[in-house]
Amino acid sequence: MSQKEIEESLNLLQKDWDVDPILRQFMLGNISDVSDYSIKVKDVIFHIPYLASKKKYILWKCFWPDCHNCCDRQGRLPLTSDDLITIGKGLKYKKTSDFIKNETITTTWQDSSPSGQTTTMTTINLKRKKDETVQEDGTHISCRFLDKKGGCSMHPDRPGVCYLYPFSTWLENEKGMARVHATYQFTGDCPGFYLAEDIQQMKQELKDYSKIIYDYTLSSSRTMRENFGSVSFG
Ligand code: SF4
Ligand code: SF4
């Protein structure tokens, strides 16, 4: 996401929510004394930004059901192979191939990891609107499964990636074993970020999300191995 897109999202967000001015500056890339605080919670290593000059961590909590911005301004819904079966069945498809043909769109897109490495991914994505086109990939679209009360009409069988936001994850080789890492994705759409001196305030969220993140990352990696998508680095 470009800084311009993040700024536009933040401007929209601030119409309804308070955003700490320091966090706004951070998200726009204007704060440089940021260090990475790593904390292992169960099977996941979380990378939490620490603003040295403010002596504060960037923490997060979710404001749902008062907020459903991540569904209102959805950018892409890549599906895992588990999602293809579960969601296909949930939408009453007898054959996964028919579900893929009618309800998904395949796109190729690039992402940057926190280490600066560029990854090119090809993924099968759930259409956020019935007539979604490849050209609309990565743009903000209000998801067709968002109901009038701000809930997901597919819940609990919604795509794994929906449980993940606002984290992004990756795998690293640690002594021959796959280690799951996670950090935030700052798109400017989530009002849940806040500054705090003590990381303990987010203890429960880190505990809850550790399992979600671990299961999703392994499922996503398996999806690539099963050729329901591809990933290349560099
Ligand atoms: S945008 Fe953030 S606060 Fe709002 S529902 Fe999504 S994760 Fe929660
Ligand atoms: S599928 Fe459900 S949880 Fe995911 S973006 Fe759509 S409404 Fe939100």
Please report where in the chains the tokens 């204007």 appear, as a residue: 30
- Starting from the CA of residue 140, give the closest ligand: 2
For 197, the token pair is: 């001196």
Please report where in the chains the tokens 């893929």 appear, as a residue: 100
Q: What is the pLDDT of residue 114?
A: 60
CB 124 within 8 A of CB 84: yes
Q: Which atom of ligand 1 is nearest to the CA of 64?
A: 5
Is the CB–ligand 2 distance for residue 141 below 6 Å? no
pLDDT band per the 50, 70, 90 thresholds, residue 119:
confident
Q: What is the pLDDT of residue 174?
A: 85
pLDDT band per the 50, 70, 90 thresholds, residue 138:
very high
Q: What is the pLDDT of residue 117?
A: 73
Q: Which atom of ligand 1 is nearest to the CA of 166?
A: 7
Segment 144-175, tens digit of pLDDT:
999 999 999 998 889 999 999 999 999 888 88
> Would you kindly state where each structural domain of the chain is located, as residue ranges?
3-233
Q: 100: number of CA atoms within 13 Å, CB side? A: 17
Is the CB–ligand 2 distance for residue 49 below 6 Å? no
Check pLDDT > 90 for residue 70.
yes
Q: What is the pLDDT of residue 78?
A: 96
- Starting from the CA of residue 159, give the closest ligand: 2
- Starting from the CA of residue 165, give the closest ligand: 1
Q: What is the pLDDT of residue 234?
A: 59
Closest CA to 210 of 73, 67, 30, 43: 43
ipTM of this complex prediction, to 2 decimal places:
0.98
